[in-house]
Chain A
Amino acid sequence: MKVLAAGVVPLLLVLHWKHGAGTPLPITPVNATCATRHPCHSNLMNQIRNQLAQLNGSANALFILYYTAQGEPFPNNLDKLCGPNVTDFPPFHANGTEKTRLVELYRIIAYLGASLGNITRDQKVLNPNALSLHSKLNATADILRGLLSNVLCRLCNKYHVAHVDVAYGPDTSGKDVFQKKKLGCQLLGKYKQVIAVVAQAF
């Protein structure tokens, strides 16, 4: 199921998003003003770059760890099973303005965050002993949370963007095991591909 929300609703949703959540949080009333708990740091863009680099540096390892943990047929059929065939993944235009790129980044992070939440939830059930994978998924989700916070700060402080439309990936809770694994593998493959582009863009 594809959920598309527009306006500031996804913003607050993301702010209250906890890693590991299987589904996006319910939509809550939105305060459209850019109010932060304390002033944002001036070095946000540098931090965003570092975070993207951090994500980019770990994305491939996460992908390998994932399909390895799923077992056959995934490692030997990566192209078929783990191809970056995520059709609804938010687009990113590396040649856009910083504001555009930040908004698109915001959407990507929101999408990835929700999807990683689903994957993490599923893997704890499907591969409860793959602790290394769990840890890596959690670490990536934490970085995404931090990145989202920085992007939000940047959008608010500099561009006074109070809300961004976001889209979430499919909910895997109702799918079979293989589909869950496959969707997860496809998403991580896509993530690895996109994050490299995004990191390069900033």
Chain B
Amino acid sequence: MLTLQTWIVHVLFIFFTTESVGELLEPCGYIKPESPVVQLGSNFTAVCVLKEKCMDYFHVNASYIFWKTNHLTVPKEQYTTINKTASSVTFTDTSSLNTQLTCNIRTFGQIDQNVYGIRIISGLPPEKPKNLSCIVNEGKKMMCQWDPGRETYLETNFTLKSEWATEKFADCKTKRDTPTSCTVDYSPVYFVNTEVWVEAENALGKVTSDHINFDPVDKVKPNPPHNLSVSNSEELSSILKLTWINSSIQDFIRLKYNIQYRTRDSSVWNQIPPEDTASTRSSFTVQDLKPFTEYVFRIRCMKEDGKGFWSDWSEEASGITYEDRPSKAPSFWYKIEPSHTHGYRSVQLIWKTLPPFEANGKILDYEVTLTRWKSRLQNYTVNETKWTVNITNDRYIATLTVRNLVGKSDAAVLTIPAYDFKATRPVRDLKAFPKDNMLWVEWTAPNESVNKYILEWCVLSDKSPCIPDWQQEDGLVHRTYLRGNLAESKCYLITVTPVFADGPGSPESIKAYLKQAPPSKGPTVRTKKVGKNEAVLEWDQLPVDVQNGFIRNYTIFYRTIIGNETAVNVDSSHTEYTLSSLTSDTLYMVRMAAYTDEGGKDGPEFTFTTPKFAQGEIEAIVVPVCLAFLLTTLLGVLFCFNKRDLIKKHIWPNVPDPSKSHIAQWSPHTPPRHNFNSKDQMYSDGNFTDVSVVEIEAANDKKPFPEDLKSLDLFKKEKISTEGHSSGIGGSSCMSSSRPSISSSDENESAQNTSGTVQYSTVVHSGYRHQVPSVQVFSRSESTQPLLDSEERPEDLQLVENTESSAGSFPRQQYFKQNCSQRDTSPDISHFERSKQVSSVNEEDFVRLKQQMSDISKPFEAGQMKMFQEISVADAFGPHTDGLVEGFETVGMEAAVDEGMPKSYLPQTVRRGGYMPQ
């Protein structure tokens, strides 16, 4: 009871729930048609009908309806309000395959409410199936296929229907994956006409193909014959007999056959004439085959009247025809090999193995006969394809036959000429060219009748020797191809030798390639000579192994780093080329490519630089310059030589040796000019080149001017004060060198006055002529040796300092200063004024003195400057102690003083006059 109540409650719950949901899901209207399938391109009209209840609820009518397709509102022009509750929409030329169409209303003026929706499926009705055909595979059921026509975009069913005149068979429904064919489920019955057609049907229509009516036996594809076998005949080497078993269909239909055969190594099938196999049979004899050749056969069949289909090919079967005697003599040739036996030659007879189609069986051996001229025949049996024999230098005739199981071939005859035979009559116009992937050789036959031609060829290589292969051609042939295993990109040397009845003719050779290719390596270019504007390039011919073809030309590419590349074509016969119009002093990069008929290959790049000057250009500049310099020098030397006295006078005046002076010979009355010779004699051991003597005429004025005297007096005092003081050489000689001329003592004053210039002076501590001098004597020297250390001893320096300290009272100090320093010139002026005063006696001499002075002073000015620069540098760079600096300064002082020395010569000269002995 409780169970019953529970069950009732459940039922009621479900009922009310369903009712309420139904109320909620109930649409406001509906669209007609519900599930339309529309033909593409046709018109379609849908009607939306609103329910009264909905219209009242939403206060709408059919005019509120609007349509949407795929969520896009349809233009109102396509709407039609049929009545208060129904509105229709019309689409013309529907092109969309699958369209969602919804009917909508706008409630309360703004809310769009979907009323109903449908999906419009578009497509095309099926086309009439075409090309219906059927096939009956023997032992299987009939299968028909057809062309379904255009795409319908709809699910289309194809049904194959078939019937006899008295009976209908079950329909054959196509499977989804094979909609264009169908295999019936009943066994075919032959000799009863069957009518077959196809029905194609989809939502838009049904169409039927044309009916075909046929006897299934006319659509049969038989099973191929099986158990095909081949047998030969010992009687006939050219036939093979085929036997096979036909398929069971031959029990009630007649068959015809196709029989095909080929040799084992061929891929091309030959066919027995169809008319020979146009009837049912189970065997066939194939004729006109080659002896001892393996043939492969296959067979197929079909209904004799040609209706139906050919069966598949049977499995292949093969058989070998029986042997026959060799049909041709083998190719026969010889090679002469050097022999060490005098009067004999070693001859290697060579021949080719007959190809199977000529051997006609298994070759057992070869029989060679050798006949010397007018001598008996010798027989030899050889198993190989060559035979070497020593023969005399006479003419021989060799024959060769080949033997198999059935018999012997014809004999090949070869004449081996005598040793001294001179071959002539070569072939003419020998050509070799590739064609159809074969290397063809063509020639013009000699005028005489040729028995045969021997073609020999080998690969030319730098690495391996030429190993020739050969072949024989009939005497009537003048064009053939090389039947060896030729390789591409290899250079073949081909030789054609005609063979006459009396022996071989003269061979002719030619080179050829089966197929050319670009060189595998480019030529390596280098410079042979590089000029300012040209470069001679040279290269080696490419080795034949890398040529890969005939080198037709070279191309030289050269460029600068920034310039464009220039290409020059060069004939292949050249091995050097001159690049002209190059820019000097430029880096050039050059490479070279070699070209065959098939392309080129670049070689490595080579770099060279053109020189700045052409060869000889430098010499052309330098040599004239050198010559000019040399000439100038020579002229200068000549000039100097001519003027040597004058030059010597100004540069290296002879300095009289005071030690050899004779004061006694000084005579105030000696005439200034004509006494010169006597002076010269007097100083014969000296090298005076010139002596300037300033003579002061004492006769006119026996007493010197008071100023002169005064100055003389001062000089004397200076001399006294400076006696014993050392003077340096060079820089330090400024003072010291002047001393002898200035500090002339009574004894040597006159001697010193005879010298024009003094470069160096040395303090001589010894006395004159071994006498102990009471005072220090200065002796002149031309040495340029630097000062000795002893000459720079502190005591000397001290003396100098003392001298300097006391020099302020001496005009001489000013005199030296003005000569050693350029900064203070006023004393010099005064000096000259004084000199002028002194020398005013003789204006002529004075002028000469000035010239000497200017000549001498010039080089020393430079030396003076230099010395000051050195000092200043030393001062600037040396981290010297004060003492050292002082030392340098001291030396510098001395140098400064000393460098002024040459200038001091002039006053000496001036003073000479002033020192005129009184």
Interface residues of A, Cβ cutoff 8 Å to B: 15, 36-41, 43, 47-48, 50-51, 53-54, 57-58, 138-139, 142-143, 145-150, 152-153
Closest A residue to B195 using CB positions: A38
CB pair A51–B191 under 8 Å, yes or no, is yes
| B215 within 8 Å of A (CB atoms) | yes
Contact of B193 with A by CB under 8 A = yes
Please pick, from B167, B217, B253, the residue contacting A37 in the complex, using a CB distance under 8 A: B167
Report chain A residues within 8 Å CB of B192. 47, 51, 146-147, 149-150
Sample of 6 further A-B pairs with CB below 8 A, known A54-B252, A145-B189, A146-B191: A43-B193, A47-B215, A54-B251, A139-B187, A148-B166, A150-B191
Q: For the complex, give the distance between the alpha carbons of A147 and B192 in Å.
A: 7
Of the candidates A38, A39, A47, A143, the one having the most CB atoms from chain B within 10 angstroms of its own CB is A38
Residue B165 lies at the interface, judged by CB distance under 8 Å to chain A: yes
**CB 8 Å contact bits of B165-205 with A (1 = contact, 0 = none):** 11110000000000000000001011111010000000000
The 4 closest A-B pairs by CB, nearest first: A146-B192, A146-B189, A54-B252, A47-B191
CB distance from A50 to the nearest CB of B (A): 4
Residues of A close to B217: CB separation below 8 A: 50
For B246-262 the 0/1 string (1 means CB < 8 A from A) is: 00000111000000000
Given A47-B191, A50-B191, A57–B213 Cβ distance below 8 Å? no
- Contacts A/B (CB < 8 Å), 16 sampled: A36-B165, A37-B163, A37-B165, A37-B168, A38-B163, A38-B165, A41-B193, A41-B215, A54-B190, A54-B251, A54-B252, A139-B187, A142-B189, A146-B191, A146-B192, A152-B166
Supposing A40-B165, A139-B187 touch, asked if A47 and B193 sit within 8 A by C-beta, the answer is: yes
Contacts of A148 in B (CB 8 A): 166
**Across the A-B interface, how many residue pairs have beta carbons closer than 8 Å?**
72
A149 to B251, CA, bound (A): 22
Number of B positions contacting A (CB below 8 A)? 20
Q: What distance in Å separates the Cβ of B72 from its nearest Cβ neighbour in chain A? A: 54
Q: Is the CB of A57 within 8 A of B251?
A: yes
Chain B nearest CB: distance from A57 CB in Å?
4
Chain B binding surface SS class:
loop
CA A40 – CA B191 in complex, angstroms? 12
**Would B213 and A41 count as touching, CB distance under 8 A?**
yes
Q: Is B164 an interface residue (CB 8 A)?
A: yes
How distant is B188 from chain A, measured CB to nearest CB, in Å? 8
Contact A143 B189 (CB under 8 A): yes
B516 → chain A, closest Cβ, in Å?
A: 69
Smallest distance from the beta carbon of A44 to chain B beta carbons, Å?
8
Are A50 and B190 in contact, with the CB atoms below 8 A? yes
Considering the chains assembled together, what is the distance between the CA atoms of A146 and B190 in angstroms?
8
Q: How far is the CA of A150 from the CA of B187 in the complex (A)?
A: 17
Question: What 1/0 mask marks residues of chain B from 484 to 520 whose CB sits below 8 Å from any chain A CB?
Answer: 0000000000000000000000000000000000000
> A7 CA to B251 CA in the complex, in Å?
36
Question: How far is it, in angstroms, between the C-alpha of A38 and the C-alpha of B213 when the chains are bound?
Answer: 10
B211 partner residues in chain A, CB cutoff 8 A = 38
* Docked CA distance A185–B187 (Å): 25
* A152 cross-chain contacts in B, Cβ below 8 A: 166
Cα distance A36–B165 when bound, in Å? 5
Q: CA A143 – CA B195 in complex, angstroms?
A: 17
Assembly CA distance A58 to B249 (angstroms): 11
Closest chain B CB from A38 CB (angstroms): 5
Partner of A53, one of B187, B213, B252: B252
- Of the candidates A43, A54, A58, A153, the one whose C-beta lies within 8 Å of that of B166 is A153
Known interface pairs A38-B213, A57-B252; A149-B191 also in contact (CB < 8 Å): no
Are B163 and A15 within 8 A (Cβ)? no
**A126-B739 Cα distance, complex, nearest whole Å:** 172
B187 contacts A149, C-beta separation under 8 Å: no
**Residue on A with the closest CB to B214?**
A41
Q: Measured between alpha carbons, how far is A38 from B165 in the docked complex, in Å?
A: 5
Q: Could you tell me which residues of chain B, from 201 to 258, have a CB within 8 Å of some CB in chain A?
A: 211, 213, 215, 217, 251-253
**A138 and B252 contact, Cβ closer than 8 Å, known pairs A36-B165, A40-B165, A47-B215:** no
Cα separation A186 to B211 with both chains bound (whole Å): 43
- Which residue, A58, A138, A139, A142, has most C-beta atoms of chain B within 10 A? A142
Least CB distance from A83 to B in Å reads: 26
Chain A residues contacting B165 (CB-CB under 8 Å) are: 36-41, 149, 153
CB distance from B253 to the nearest CB of A (A): 8
Residue of A with least CB distance to B192? A146
Q: Which residue of B has the minimal Cβ distance to A151?
A: B166
